[in-house]
Amino acid sequence: MTRQTPSLSHIHRFVDGDRAHPLLLLHGTGGDEDDLVPLGEAVAPGTALLSPRGQVREGSANRFFRRLAEGVFDLADLEARTQALADFVAEGRRAYGLGAPVALGFSNGANIAAALLLRRPEALAGAVLLRAMVPFEPQNAPDLSGKPVLILSGAADPIIPAENARRLAEILTGAGAAVTHQVLPAGHGLTREDLTRTTAWLRGLAG
């Protein structure tokens, strides 16, 4: 069953399923609340999906936070939007009776998922970060002890330098997260290998 409920703080789509282990779907620049639903259904069949729309507009494109240039983020806006998204997750959990979700984010959505881990780790049970980069360098690392995180980077990604992706893995590992970082023979776009590895990783959590 699918429900769309704009009465919460973010326009979103909810796909019902296993509510104990839901996915929080976070789209990339130009996406919306429908964008990652097919991916969520493919990698975690039968799982409840909570998919908000980013509240920032860049031209005609939806984003989760503002940027000043490619790879240069508006850190004040990122902070505010991260807090607002964490509050939305809490609203969605109450409204739909959900457990803590695992974030599944792509690009801009992966970056704000990483920011959630660093700013509001209680909002997430873990995260799959597809083509993510460092959202900011935390002054004080949160306690992410044992929190599972999968980072899938593209070896030929023209947007995210390999060192930046490695630094993100280092930051999260240093905070105690159980990080798996894999570099795929891909660019910035997603491939079948992303789907295969994400599916296997999520099954490992459930198993």
| Tokens coding 135 | 């959202």
Domains of the chain: 2-206 (3.40.50.1820)
Q: What is the DSSP letter of 51?
A: E
How far is it, in rounded angstroms, from Cα 62 to Cα 57?
A: 5
φ/ψ (deg, to 5) at 19: -85, -10
Task: Please pick, among 51, 153, 157, 194, the residue that the annotation labels catalytic.
Answer: 157
How far apart (Å, rounded) are the C-alpha atoms in residues 195 and 207? 18
Q: Which of 21, 51, 107, 181 is labelled catalytic?
A: 107
CA dihedral sign of residues 21, 173, 109, 200: negative
Is there a catalytic annotation at residue 87?
A: no
The whole-angstrom separation of Cα 114 and Cα 120 is: 10
What CA–CA distance (Å, rounded) separates 183 from 79?
28
20 CB-near residues (< 8 Å, 6+ apart): 99
pTM for the full predicted model: 0.95
* Cβ burial, residue 55 (10 Å; 0-12/13-18/19+): middle
Q: How far is CA 26 from CA 53, 90, 113, 127, 139, in A?
A: 8, 15, 8, 11, 25
54-79 pLDDT tens trace: 999 999 999 999 988 887 899 999 99
Low-confidence ranges of the chain (pLDDT < 50): 1-4
SS3 192: helix
Q: Residue 188 catalytic? A: yes
At 144 the pLDDT is: 97
pLDDT digit string, tens, across residues 190-199:
999 999 999 9
pLDDT of residue 96: 95
Per-residue pLDDT at 67: 87
User: Computed over its alpha carbons, how large is the radius of gyration of the chain?
Assistant: 15
